[in-house]
Structure 1
Amino acid sequence: MDEADAKPILLTVDDDPAVSRAVARDLRRRYGKANRIVRATSGADALEALREVKLRGGRVSVLLADYRMPGMSGIEFLEAAMDLFPKARRALLTAYADTDAAIAAINVVDVDHYLLKPWEPPEEKLYPVIDAMLQAYADEPDVEVIETKVIGHRWSAPSFETRDFLARNAVPYRWYAVDEPEAARLLQAAQVAADTLPVVITPDGSAMIAPSTKALADAVGMSTVPATDFYDLVVVGGGPAGLGAAVYGASEGLRTLLVERRATGGQAGQSSRIENYLGFPDGVSGAQLTDRARRQATRFGAEILTARDVTGLEVRGSSRVVTFGDGSHVAAHSVIIATGVSYRDLDAPGTDDLNGRGVYYGSAATQAAECTSRDVYIVGGANSAGQAAVFFARTAKSVTLVVRGPSLEASMSHYLIEQISGIENISVRTCTVVEQAHGDGHLEGLTLRHTASGETQSVDCSHLFIFIGAQPRTEWLDGILQRDPRGFLLTGPDLLVDRQRPRGWPADRDPWPLEASVPGVFVAGDVRAESVKRVASAVGEGAMAVTLVHRYLGAS
């Protein structure tokens, strides 16, 4: 929204073009510097203009409407306009003969004033009234909302997915629950029914009904289409390893494309606080670290595609071809696979049905406000679960860590265990699993089971966050790259069996460290078999993979 659009609007509507021009002229002469003057010649046109202003996040300070207009009277227009901008001040323009009707309308539709036509001189008969109306509006103004707006149900999985996508990609947005009055006004302006949520309204005023991830990414200005069809390096996955590879690849002169399925940062990007990353003695949130890395990569010239799912990898001579879900593809001299891992689905009845409606995988920071003064349960015993517990403990009534093992020591950093032990509203239930999730439309309770005794307990719970297991989700590479029994990608010496190179290996050398079973394809981060599951090591592997890419390109 430019400077002119940011000004509050004075709107006048009159079916007589001469009167309409005269009103706009007099208003512009006195109020044009601080306000935007808009005129219309019918109530329908004026309402259409107001709907556009509403969707674009603008403000309306004063509405002036002629009492007698064909099709829609001034009173009918002001009634409809009140539904969109209830804080705008309202006045009727009326002839002397209609004075009694105009006075009656003040009580019927809460009109603030009426103005007799003609109003000459305006300094005596027009401006004092407008001054008073503008002052009344200034005492209780609308809030300008120029960022993306999301309207949805609190307990709706699609609404959560939309909010989560925007938040994880650092796109500013304003959330409106469907039962809020402002949500009703926005839906009316968009002329969208409340049963078609979520609705996303972009800063330019466009309304999207339940948009796909790619459509949403396109609408908010994210890049989803590659600039060219061939690169030196394609990085698949935008977690710490992928971002590290993009930064080092682009900074060293490689034409680099990074492709991310959902949001850069991966699991680390969802972390509320990373306190053991080198160079950040006070800790840093995953979102902050991700944003800095993303900006650093683009500053060096890396191209980042978001909301693009990679579904295939193929060797075509010296090229490595990456295929997207829609069938399109790009080619490169080399590829780095850095797709990370996903949290394992919780195998408990009820959780699938309530996913996104109280059951969440990862920290889901968008739900933090909803957890205020509530009892929150977190499943998992590694660092990500511990960091989430500390984060939610700031506002939640209580936070309970549900851990299958006998203690946290086997999987969580010592500093984090010490930190958790010092927070009064965090408790740890070891040797415990979630047996079942309960709820009608959203999560309402859990059944917990102690693994040693078999005893069960029912607890009230509206929010469950799951941080368990590590699934590499490399099915799309089956038959292309060698994987271990759990699906992690084998690299370097791990590919050698009895000192024999992988079957079909064409190069007259052994695979280099981080190199997969296809020459020129490298693996970095958590998706690699036997990798160290830490942010620092993932970034280091991303940088090391680029060094090996240079070696590969030099030898090719």
Structure 2
Amino acid sequence: MAQAAETARTVILTVDDDPGVSRAVARDLRRRYGESYRIVRAESGESALEALRELKLRGDLVAVILADYRMPQMNGIEFLEQALDVYPGARRVLLTAYADTNAAIDAINVVDLDHYLLKPWDPPEEKLYPVLDDLLDAWRHSAYKPVPSTKVVGHRWSARSSDVREFLARNQVPYRWYSVEEPEGQRLLAAAGQDGQRLPLVITPDCTVLVEPEAPELAARVGLATTPTADFYDLVVIGGGPAGLGAAVYGASEGLRTVLVERSATGGQAGQSSRIENYLGFPDGVSGAQLTDRARRQATKFGAEMLTAREVTGLEVNGAARVVRFADGSAIAAHSVILATGVQYRQLEADGCTDLTGCGVFYGSALSEASSCQGQDVYIVGGANSAGQAAMYLSRGSKSVTLLVRGPDLSASMSHYLIQQIGEAPNISVRCHTVVEQAHGSEHLERLTLRNTVTGETEQVDAQWMFVFIGAAPLTDWLGDSVLRDERGFILAGPDLTADGRPPAGWELDRPPYHLETSIPGVFVAGDARAESAKRVASAVGEGAMAVMLVHRYLEQS
């Protein structure tokens, strides 16, 4: 039974231009192997190649290919030679007549033939099955690897390819990466009928080929929810970081019809963290991806909808309804809204960084790139917890990790436990009073020019990998003037709106705004996007839960 489960999608393919022989071969194969393998038959070399390409796109495995030698247009050796390009790991068998044995022997050198069978093969128990049993056993013990259902083909140093990989990874979508320079990448391109001029190429589990897909299309095709099931909700949560996930869990668990809208991937900046060690209840630490996955499953268990790759462009008041508008022109409405959009890392203004983003220069940890840093020198820009967590994670496989810090030390913004860990790591060094002045490289990052902010001295260092964790810019520009924000763009709420003792302009209720309520009644803010927030995972989750409590209070009085 275990073997049957393992080989449920594995194929044995047979091709013979004689319909009677083709049916006979398939019949004998099904009788012996039908419970464990799919038997696929074709009656020409061309149709068999087409079937192989389709199987390749679907991610199916092919264990054995049996081909008749004497076929018109394309004989068995010519077919197997082309089949070798599609499934190089499949075992190859040639069906021949006695007069063609010399051709079969020659084929051993041409297509690395595994066996040839003389026709007729009756009885199959003596002449067919023992041969195939040995070949299948050899195939199962070979280096074949069942690949995940989604495949990505692209250039190693490509910002767009990096974006697609990061999107899939952060949304917990299993995928397999193939460089276009590798033979398997070329085979997938050929199977998809593409020449590689437009990349990345994504092949979904249902064989759909996506060329240079944008996030909404990619999300929909790999099974992520992108369309709301209703037009009106009790609560819309905008942003899927810790604050948004916390709000979704508490909102849905307390009976509110809740939908969470995320523009890229749930987890926010915390979801990119390799390890969070000071979050309550996880004494051994927890990765951002693990914490995010658990929170997402928890929210959906209580009935919250999770929409991915939906960009919100506007917030409007329509009577008692709060209307959330999307980039595609559609909208949803709700009694209340929680803004949990979080922040993003500020862009490094050094010359050359913009052109090399995604090609050696990355913002955030970009964990999908970590495996490529093995044995290499890595530079990290920033001195807060996120930079420290990335340094510890990348130091496991990198030759060296250098933290570039503008300030005099790490104590200003990094937790004490991280400072201690960095100090004990033999391959991590910290360069204080140091900034990046220029990034150099043609197709990818090759060197950095560093400047000492005290002495003004500069030096160039070889570098292929730089991860940037500087500052925090709130993701609130889309709000425009709809809610009050401070000069840096962070959302004002509660007491910050009534510092002079008066309610904010346009406030029409008799009561002052609740603690996390914005300048629009019924619209609340939680997490890093709020002015003067703590910028910690635990506080963001707490604010998400508190915002739901205040939503209940608002709804009761409305």
With normalisation by structure 2, the TM-score equals 0.96
1:195-220 CA-partner distances (Å, limit 9, x unpaired):
32211122233222121111111111
Cα deviation for residue 496 of structure 1 reads 2.0
**Aligned counterparts of 1:396 and 1:100: Cα–Cα separation in 2:** 54
Aligned residue number for residue 515 of structure 1: 517
Aligned residue number for residue 385 of structure 2: 383
1:16-53 CA-partner distances (Å, limit 9, x unpaired):
11111111112222233333221111112111111122
1:41 to 29, 38, 43: 43
1:122-176 CA-partner distances (Å, limit 9, x unpaired):
3333334333433443342522214322121111101100110111111111222
After alignment, is 87-96 or 212-221 more displaced?
A: 87-96
Kindly provide the amino acid, as one letter, of the partner of residue 189 in structure 1. Answer: A
**Aligned counterparts of 1:265 and 1:127: Cα–Cα separation in 2:** 53
Cα deviation for residue 497 of structure 1 reads 5.3
Aligned residue number for residue 490 of structure 1: 492
Matches within 5 A, 1:466-477: 466-477=468-479
Cα deviation for residue 441 of structure 1 reads 0.4
**Aligned counterparts of 1:345 and 1:52: Cα–Cα separation in 2:** 43
**Aligned counterparts of 1:477 and 1:541: Cα–Cα separation in 2:** 20
Matches within 5 A, 1:140-219: 140=142, 142-219=144-221
2:8 is aligned with 1:9: no
Aligned residue number for residue 333 of structure 1: 335
Matches within 5 A, 1:240-255: 240-255=242-257
Residues 289, 128 of structure 1: alpha-carbon distance in 2 compared, 3 angstrom cutoff: closer
Aligned residue number for residue 526 of structure 2: 524
Aligned residue number for residue 459 of structure 2: 457
Kindly provide the amino acid, as one letter, of the partner of residue 226 in structure 1. Answer: P
Matches within 5 A, 1:143-542: 143-496=145-498, 498-542=500-544
Residues 6, 187 of structure 1: alpha-carbon distance in 2 compared, 3 angstrom cutoff: farther
After alignment, is 201-210 or 444-453 more displaced?
A: 201-210
The CA RMSD over aligned residues, in Å, is: 1.6
Secondary structure of 1:6's partner? coil
**Aligned counterparts of 1:332 and 1:34: Cα–Cα separation in 2:** 51
Secondary structure of 2:456's partner? coil
Kindly provide the amino acid, as one letter, of the partner of residue 485 in structure 2. Answer: R
Aligned residue number for residue 545 of structure 2: 543
2:111 is aligned with 1:99: no
After alignment, is 365-374 or 307-316 more displaced?
A: 365-374
Secondary structure of 1:546's partner? helix
Cα deviation for residue 109 of structure 1 reads 2.6
Cα deviation for residue 476 of structure 1 reads 1.3
**Aligned counterparts of 1:126 and 1:304: Cα–Cα separation in 2:** 53
Residues 498, 131 of structure 1: alpha-carbon distance in 2 compared, 3 angstrom cutoff: closer
With normalisation by structure 1, the TM-score equals 0.97
Residues 21, 34 of structure 1: alpha-carbon distance in 2 compared, 3 angstrom cutoff: same
Secondary structure of 2:54's partner? helix
Residues 254, 89 of structure 1: alpha-carbon distance in 2 compared, 3 angstrom cutoff: same
Query: Is this contact kept in 2: 1:404–1:433, CA < 8 A?
Result: yes
**Aligned counterparts of 2:417 and 2:148: Cα–Cα separation in 1:** 42
Kindly provide the amino acid, as one letter, of the partner of residue 481 in structure 2. Answer: G
Q: Identity percentage over the alignment?
A: 69
After alignment, is 105-114 or 395-404 more displaced?
A: 105-114
**Aligned counterparts of 1:138 and 1:403: Cα–Cα separation in 2:** 52
Query: Is this contact kept in 2: 1:58–1:146, CA < 8 A?
Result: no
Secondary structure of 1:367's partner? helix
**Aligned counterparts of 2:233 and 2:342: Cα–Cα separation in 1:** 22
Secondary structure of 2:306's partner? strand
Query: Is this contact kept in 2: 1:259–1:308, CA < 8 A?
Result: yes
Residues 177, 493 of structure 1: alpha-carbon distance in 2 compared, 3 angstrom cutoff: same
**Aligned counterparts of 1:109 and 1:427: Cα–Cα separation in 2:** 53
**Aligned counterparts of 2:157 and 2:11: Cα–Cα separation in 1:** 36
**Aligned counterparts of 2:262 and 2:130: Cα–Cα separation in 1:** 58
Kindly provide the amino acid, as one letter, of the partner of residue 94 in structure 1. Answer: T
Count of residues paired in the alignment:
555
Query: Is this contact kept in 1: 2:7–2:37, CA < 8 A?
Result: no
1:187-244 CA-partner distances (Å, limit 9, x unpaired):
2222222232211122233222121111111111110000100000000000111111
**Aligned counterparts of 1:374 and 1:133: Cα–Cα separation in 2:** 41
**Aligned counterparts of 1:358 and 1:229: Cα–Cα separation in 2:** 42
Aligned residue number for residue 114 of structure 1: 116
After alignment, is 311-320 or 395-404 more displaced?
A: 395-404
**Aligned counterparts of 1:100 and 1:386: Cα–Cα separation in 2:** 67
Kindly provide the amino acid, as one letter, of the partner of residue 543 in structure 2. Answer: E
Kindly provide the amino acid, as one letter, of the partner of residue 179 in structure 1. Answer: E
After alignment, is 69-78 or 95-104 more displaced?
A: 95-104
**Aligned counterparts of 2:271 and 2:132: Cα–Cα separation in 1:** 51
Structure 1 unaligned segments of length 5 or more: list them: none
**Aligned counterparts of 2:512 and 2:286: Cα–Cα separation in 1:** 40
**Aligned counterparts of 2:184 and 2:419: Cα–Cα separation in 1:** 44
Kindly provide the amino acid, as one letter, of the partner of residue 81 in structure 1. Answer: A
Secondary structure of 2:490's partner? coil
After alignment, is 378-387 or 175-184 more displaced?
A: 175-184
**Aligned counterparts of 2:6 and 2:386: Cα–Cα separation in 1:** 46
2:83 is aligned with 1:81: yes
Query: Is this contact kept in 2: 1:348–1:434, CA < 8 A?
Result: yes
After alignment, is 132-141 or 244-253 more displaced?
A: 132-141
Cα deviation for residue 393 of structure 1 reads 1.0
Cα deviation for residue 479 of structure 1 reads 1.3
